[in-house]
Amino acid sequence: MTPELDSILRHLSVASDYWLVTDEFSAIEGFLDPIEGYALLLLARLGPGVGTIVEIGSFAGRSTAYLARGAKRGRREKVVAVDHFQGSPEHRPGGEHAAALVAGGTLRQAFEANLARVGLRDWVHVPGLGSAEAVAGWSHPVRLLFIDGDHSHAASRFDFESWSPFLVPRGLAVFHDIGTFDGVTAYYEELLAAGAYREVLSVGTLRAVARQD
């Protein structure tokens, strides 16, 4: 086989995997675009550093599944899914996506079932706590921090400033819904303007930052 054909086959293998994973996870309710999800999968599998993967805001488990699939493939760290499973403000009564919450006001049962169905429950730890409660008792290094909880400016700032001290050297913090929700977008722009962090990845509404060298 020629080097050119070998390269083509490798690219086709990646494209095929993208579509297969997208199809497998499509039934998991969520607001994450497939290309954003696949980016999380690659970051979880191949991203720099050694430490825990922490997700702030899991909803019904779509982003969790992408992260866990990547980590499991790479035989790397499990995902810690930090969520109270009561939804962000936009998911509660009167919010833009209020209908997404299941009966009883919690997504925990749906989250667990979704991960089990795609064979990833064993690669996810679920404290069952909100961000503030979880970080209060946290002491582990983090290599990948995914922030997708309450999208307000105040909550985005809290999540980043509370969890980022645990990032390992070369560790990445990833924000979702940049350009979609005003609060998290404004905070993200302020973070870049402050100069301590630089953007290293942009996919859809997903943005990843690393500390400046």
Residue 20 domain flag: no
Position 91 pLDDT exceeds 50: no
Q: pLDDT (tens digit, 9 = 90+) per residue, 149-170?
A: 999 999 999 999 999 999 999 9
Residue 35 domain flag: yes
Residue 15 domain flag: no
List the one residue out of 213, 73, 76, 70 whose CA is nearest residue 142.
Answer: 76
Domain tally, the chain: 1
Specify whether the CB–CB gap between 134 and 165 falls below 8 A. Answer: no
pTM of the model: 0.91
Q: In which domain, by residue range, is 206 found?
A: 28-211
Position 102 pLDDT exceeds 90: no
Residue 80 domain flag: yes
CATH assignment of the domain containing 173 = 3.40.50.150
Residue 62 domain flag: yes
Residue 1 domain flag: no
Residue 16 domain flag: no
Q: 89 falls in which pLDDT band (50, 70, 90)?
A: low
Residue 11 domain flag: no
